Structure 1
Amino acid sequence: MDLSSLNFLLGTWQTEGRVLADDETPATLFSGTDTYEWVLHNQFIVHKVDVTMGDTKVEAVEFIGEFDKTGQSVKLHSFDNQGNYTLMHGQLDKTRRLHITGDKMRATLSVVNEHEMHATWEKSADNKTWLPWMELKLTKS
């Protein structure tokens, strides 16, 4: 895997989805945009998130780059408008699904075609037992 294998992400995507209900919170719809672009002489991809979840504005900036020592996964450094920082790792499989893992969260981003992607997120209290968390659809015109 090299960073150019993530070129399918590039562009501006219309994002819609929902945070699934759990014992503590009801389901929440969200919509907005996700933008991916090369920066710093194609050394990183910057991912900007601008969505509204229910009544809450959520913005994030993520830098994708820096391979692990084996070169099999890439690091994703994410910062949001709530002051949170998250480090995750991404691996692309042979079917062009991007598997993202972080502390107590993981996702699978699947390419439907050049204009559509789907993502499912799961969360965990212990990194062992996983529960469905979010579903989203990204479309690009």
Structure 2
Amino acid sequence: MYKKNEQAYEQLNKFIGNWNTKGIIPSSNNQSEIEIIGTDTYEWIVDGFFLLHKADVLIGNETSKTHEIIGYDHLNNLYTMQHYNNRGDSGFMTATVNGNIWTFTGDSLRFKGGFKENEDVFSGVWEQFTDNKTYTHLMDIKLSKKPFGY
């Protein structure tokens, strides 16, 4: 049996639980500010080698539901994130953590943020890769851990 990289899995363990999710997509030339509100949950699956992340949020008036499997790739020393959503889309991202700063990177999205307030808050900024080959601010997001039993 493969021996886990305990430090890598301790980082993932910080996500375990139920979270209230809030965010903002700032206004732009052709749209007003959009509020994001909902819940995220993280739980261990497959004998503790992977996390199942479920997001259920409203982005403005649109429901967004996503399931994501998060694992640790010990050969490349990074996390893998495969997601599927209620629009039939799927995608793949990788993640790294340096100190307390997490970076998620996909084909057209990037996130930077981390844990705060005794690890009861996880927040950061999502950016989107543009046709100009630069990243622009997409949204601010904040997950606040619900007390145990909620």
Q: Aligned partners of 1:59 and 1:34: how far apart in 2?
A: 10
Shifted more, 39-48 versus 59-68: the winner is 59-68
8 A contact 1:104–1:127 mirrored in 2: no
User: Residues 37-66 of structure 1, C-alpha deviation per residue, up to 9 Å, x if partnerless?
Assistant: 100101100100001111111100000014
Instruction: Read off the aligned partner of 1:99 and give its amino acid letter.
Output: T
Q: Please provide the CA RMSD for this pair.
A: 1.7
1:24 CA drift (Å): 3.7
**Secondary structure in 2 aligned to 1:9?**
coil
Q: Aligned partners of 1:69 and 1:27: how far apart in 2?
A: 41
Q: Aligned partners of 2:104 and 2:55: how far apart in 1?
A: 16
**Secondary structure in 1 aligned to 2:48?**
coil
8 A contact 1:68–1:75 mirrored in 2: no
Q: Aligned partners of 1:21 and 1:69: how far apart in 2?
A: 41
Unaligned runs of 5+ in 2: 1-6
Q: 1:48 aligns with which of 48, 54, 69?
A: 54
Is 2:113 the partner of 1:109?
Answer: yes
Is 2:14 the partner of 1:26?
Answer: no
Using the size of structure 1 for normalisation, the TM-score is: 0.90
- Whose Rg is larger? 2
Using the size of structure 2 for normalisation, the TM-score is: 0.85
After superposition, the Cα gap between the structure-2 partners of 1:116 and 1:66, relative to the gap in structure 1 and judged at 3 Å, is closer
8 A contact 2:130–2:136 mirrored in 1: no
After superposition, the Cα gap between the structure-2 partners of 1:127 and 1:104, relative to the gap in structure 1 and judged at 3 Å, is farther
Q: Aligned partners of 2:30 and 2:71: how far apart in 1?
A: 35
Aligned ranges 1:1-141 → 2 under 5 Å: 2-67=8-73, 69-71=75-77, 73-94=78-99, 96-113=100-117, 114-126=119-131, 128-140=133-145, 141=147
1:27 CA drift (Å): 1.8
Q: Percent identity?
A: 29
After superposition, the Cα gap between the structure-2 partners of 1:43 and 1:126, relative to the gap in structure 1 and judged at 3 Å, is farther
**Number of aligned residue pairs:** 139
User: Residues 71-111 of structure 1, C-alpha deviation per residue, up to 9 Å, x if partnerless?
Assistant: 2x1110011101111100000111x2211000111001311
**Secondary structure in 1 aligned to 2:55?**
strand
Unaligned runs of 5+ in 1: none
8 A contact 1:12–1:36 mirrored in 2: yes
